[in-house]
Structure 1
Amino acid sequence: MSRNTRTVREPEIFECAKALRSQHKYSRIGAIGFCFGGWAVFRLGAKGVQLVDCIVAAHPTFLEKKDIEQINVPVAIMAPEIDSMFTEELKAYSNEVIPTLNVAYDYQYFPGLTHGFATRGNPNDKSEMEGMERAKDAAVLWFRQWLRNSGKIK
């Protein structure tokens, strides 16, 4: 984890997002962050940064209240019931603060599932596989909704 701190990775993540617009000329960009990537997508969509047009975060890790307070693009969160990283306190804080920020917000709750469900679901566990599928479908729908540009997804 020490080589993947915010201080180390944030500048690289920001440069990547900037390059998508400047070098590759994408007009609309969405970002999805699983686990450790959760804080990063919130930063990409933060006030004064806004390097992306919408975000999805699934079972975010190291997300801080200030990240939640600063979001300024449409945000979807996929939250498992059992998660020591995206705590009950952070879940409640997200649901309290984000609706006051004048951004589109979708909160998806996954009862019975644990941290990592959207990327590491057990293929032999029906509820985990259904959770992974539901999370994927919700993310795709979110991106389709917020990344449309003249009827085309970029």
Structure 2
Amino acid sequence: MSKTEHSSDQGGDRDGGPHAPRRSLKMYLRFAAMILTGMVVMYWTMFAGSWEWGHIRWSESRLFMALTMGGAMGLVMVAWMLNMYRNPKANVAVVLVSAVLLGGWHRPGPQPGDRGRQRLHASHDPAPLAGHHEVRAGRYRGHQGL
């Protein structure tokens, strides 16, 4: 294989030439496709522990986890492949998008003064519900200490 064939297989823009920007764009689009494919695979992999087909349904939490992992994967991959991806502006864009994916999707839990959101969170937790039903039935004795 000649030197020019090898460099075009890598898709790099080291040798310059008239087609270097197009190869560079193609490399970054391929990088984005790798990250997107990884996020889709990660989303569906999270259903691996499901025992019934009925448990496999849309999950916003799993989507947020897949996006977060995609951001981490983008940062790790661009860091390991900086010698292949030599466009500084595109690298900064990859890092910024990855950072947004990594940290921009986290929703805070209920705050101390947010009673409505606290009730929403508590409605999914069986322990407070059990305590609530015990209070209503008159069987709740409070915290007994250790």
Higher-RCO chain (CA-CA 8 Å, sequence separation at least 6): 1
Higher strand share: 1
TM-score in terms of structure 1 length: 0.25
Higher helix share: 2
Q: Greater CA radius of gyration, 1 or 2?
A: 2
TM-score in terms of structure 2 length: 0.26
